[in-house]
């Protein structure tokens, strides 16, 4: 089980439970389920609209999560949010290279409480 806290400058913080061991629940699907207004477009990892910043809730380290998938790598690189050196290191460490993720692509895994910062319009 994980707690995921969504925060933005315009909305009240909201903390929700993520399904334990889900292999399909994304940050975006969790946000939609709880009426958290993360902006999104394609829902398929192509447009970058759902960019969020994800941290461990304790703030002490990068979230473990899973490494970026190929779509996230392509879009985040294009947006200048991740460098090739960070991507190369990600494949060595098997954890995300930094805090930037696409909410529609990041699968929530159990065992780690997360802070998700999303942009406010
Ligand atoms: Fe388009 Fe996530 S909604 S990349």
Q: Predicted ipTM?
A: 0.99
Predicted confidence (pLDDT) per residue in 61-110, tens digit: 666 667 899 999 999 999 999 999 999 999 998 888 889 999 999 988 77
* pLDDT at 10 (0 to 100): 87
Atom of ligand 1 nearest to the CA of 75: 4
Residue 57: count other Cβ atoms within 10 Å of its Cβ.
Answer: 16
* pLDDT at 44 (0 to 100): 96
Superfamily of domain 2-117: Beta-grasp domain (3.10.20.30)
* pLDDT at 19 (0 to 100): 75
Name the least confident of 24-28, 46-50, 65-69. Answer: 65-69
Atom of ligand 1 nearest to the CA of 50: 2
Question: What is the band of 120 on the pLDDT scale with cuts at 50, 70, 90?
Answer: low
Judge if the beta carbon of residue 43 lies within 6 A of ligand 1: yes
Which positions ≥6 away from 24 have C-beta within 8 Å? 107
Distance of CA 79 to the CA centre of its chain: 15
């Amino acid at each position: 089980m994980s707690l995921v806290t969504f925060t933005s400058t315009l909305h009240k913080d909201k903390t929700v439970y993520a399904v334990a061991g889900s292999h399909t629940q994304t940050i975006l699907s969790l946000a939609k389920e709880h009426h958290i207004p993360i902006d999104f477009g394609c829902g398929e990892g192509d447009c970058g609209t759902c960019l969020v910043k994800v941290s461990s809730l304790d703030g002490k380290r990068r979230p473990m999560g899973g490494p970026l998938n190929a779509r996230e790598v392509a879009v985040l690189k294009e947006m200048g949010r991740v460098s090739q050196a960070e991507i190369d290191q990600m494949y060595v460490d098997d954890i995300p290279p930094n805090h930037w993720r696409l909410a529609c692509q990041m699968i929530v895994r159990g065992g780690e409480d997360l802070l998700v910062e999303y942009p406010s319009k």
